[in-house]
Amino acid sequence: MEAAENKQVIFKGYIDGVPKETDMEVKMGSEVELEVVKGSGALLVIEGFGVSRVVDSDNPNFKTGDLVTGITGWEEYSLIHKTEQLRKIQQDDIPLSYYVGLLGMPGFTAYAGFYEVCAPKKGDCVFVSAASGAVGQLVGQLAKLYGCYVVGSAGTNQKVDLLKNKFGFDEAFNYKEELDLDAALKRYFPQGIDIYFDNVGGAMLDAALTNMSLHGRIAVCGMVSEQSLSNPKGIHNLFNLISKRVRMQGFLQSDYLHLYPRFLEDVISYYKQGKIVYVEDMKAGLESAPAALVGLYAGKNVGLVEFCPAFSYWWGQLLRRAQEFCFSVQLICVVRWVESKTRNNATISWIFQSRLFHYLVGYFTALDRFLCWCLAVLIDNGNDNKFL
C-alpha cells in the first residue's frame, strides 16, 4: 500500500480572540496511506480544502482522478467519510479556483442570500458591507444586473476603487474614514435603504437600521466585526424593525442547496458573457496559510483567500512574465515597421505619438495578460496538486 508524507496546518492550542501566526504551525512528517479501507465508503483526496483530486475511492459516486469540491482540512491529503456535500467538477474553461469562490460556498451564499432572503425588486436601493470580500463582490454585481442602485463599504481606498471601477457599484466608501456611519449612509441613501446585505454586524448594522426604508429587508450573512470581541457592544437601534416593519433574517447557504444547480447555470452564464467579474487572493503553498489567515482578519485581502501548490503558483507567474515580454517585443517591432512606412505621413505619425495610442497599448497589454492567465490556468488544471 503506497504512503505519502502529509503536510498540515494545525493550531497549537485554544485561540483566544483573533488568531496570530504564532498560534499555528505547518506540521510535516505524518504519513497517510494512499488507499482507503474497502467497505468504508470513504475516498482519499489530494489537496484537502476546496478543489481536490481523488487518488483512491471506495465510494461508488466517485472514482480515482475525479475533481471534486468540498470541505476538508488544510492539508495535502485527507480521508473524507462525509461525502454528502462533495460535488464533482466538470472541467471546462473556468479556472478551478473559482469552484472555491465564485462557484463555491461564497458565491452560492451571495446568490441565495440576495435572491431568496433579500427578495429584491427592480429599482431597490441596496447596501453591501464588506463589499470587496468573496461574498460581497458578487452580491453587488447580482444586484446591479437586477436593476438596483448599489453602494458598498470597504476598509481601504484601494478596495473602494475596486468596487466602483471593477465590480460596477454605483457608489462605495471607506468606512474607516467616516466619523459618523449614520450620516454616511444618509448621504448615499437619502430615500432610505431597501436591502442591506450585512457581512459585519456591529456599528454598521446599527447605522443601517436607522436608515432602512419601510418594509426593508436585511440579510444577516456575517458578524465579522463582533467575532473577536470578548465584550460585544450590542445593537441599539432594533426598534426600527418594528416602526419601519423591517424583515431581518439570518441564513446559511446550506438552507438552499436545492438551488445549487440553478445557481451554477446562472452564474456561469453571467461569467462567460462578461457580465460579472471575480477577484481572488492567491497564495503559494501551505506555508503561507498562517499569515494569510491573520491577514484575512486584518482586512488585508481582496476577495477570497486561496492557496495553491507553490510550483503551480510560480509556474503561472513565470508564464505571465514571459508572455508580457513577448508581447512587448512584438509591439515594438510593429510600431517600428509602421513608422518606417509612414515617416512622411504627418497624420499617422501624430497618431502614434498621441495619448490615444498609449491608451491602446495599455488595453492590449491588459488583454495579453488575460490570455496569459488563461494559459496558466489550463496548465494548472493538469496538475494533480491543485487548490487546497
Residue-wise pLDDT for 326-358, tens only, equals 555 555 555 555 556 555 566 555 555 555 655
pLDDT of 46 reads 42
With bands split at pLDDT 50, 70 and 90, how would you rate the model's confidence at 141? Answer: very high
Is residue 79 within a helix (H) or strand (E), and if so which, with residue range? Answer: strand 77-80
In this structure, what C-alpha cell is assigned to residue 53? 483530486
In this structure, what C-alpha cell is assigned to residue 370? 488575460
| Residue 292 in domain | no
The total number of structural domains that make up the chain: 3
Residue 88 confidence (pLDDT) above 60: yes
Instruction: Return the DSSP state at 217.
Output: E
User: CA geometry: angle at 90 spanning 139 and 106, to 5°?
Assistant: 20
Centre a 10 Å sphere on the Cβ of residue 20 and count the other Cβ atoms it contains: 12
72 φ, ψ to 5°?
A: -135, -140
Final residue of a domain: which of 215, 248, 272? 272
Centre a 10 Å sphere on the Cβ of residue 146 and count the other Cβ atoms it contains: 17
Residues 146 and 264 in one domain: yes
Cell 454586524: give the residue.
Answer: 201
With bands split at pLDDT 50, 70 and 90, how would you rate the model's confidence at 216? Answer: very high
Lowest mean pLDDT among 54-58, 177-181, 227-231, 354-358: 354-358
Q: How far apart are CA 385 and CA 388, in angstroms?
A: 8
Section 222-233 average pLDDT = 73
pLDDT of 279 reads 85
Residues 36 and 59 in one domain: yes
pLDDT of 314 reads 46
Q: How far apart are CA 120 and CA 126, in angstroms?
A: 9
| Residue 299 in domain | no
Residues 118 and 250 in one domain: yes
CA atoms within 13 Å, Cβ hemisphere of 346: 0
Residues 242 and 359 in one domain: no
Q: Which domain holds residue 83?
A: 3-90
In this structure, what C-alpha cell is assigned to residue 326? 513577448
Final residue of a domain: which of 246, 272, 298? 272
| Residue 297 in domain | no
Residue 371 confidence (pLDDT) above 60: no
Residues 15 and 120 in one domain: no
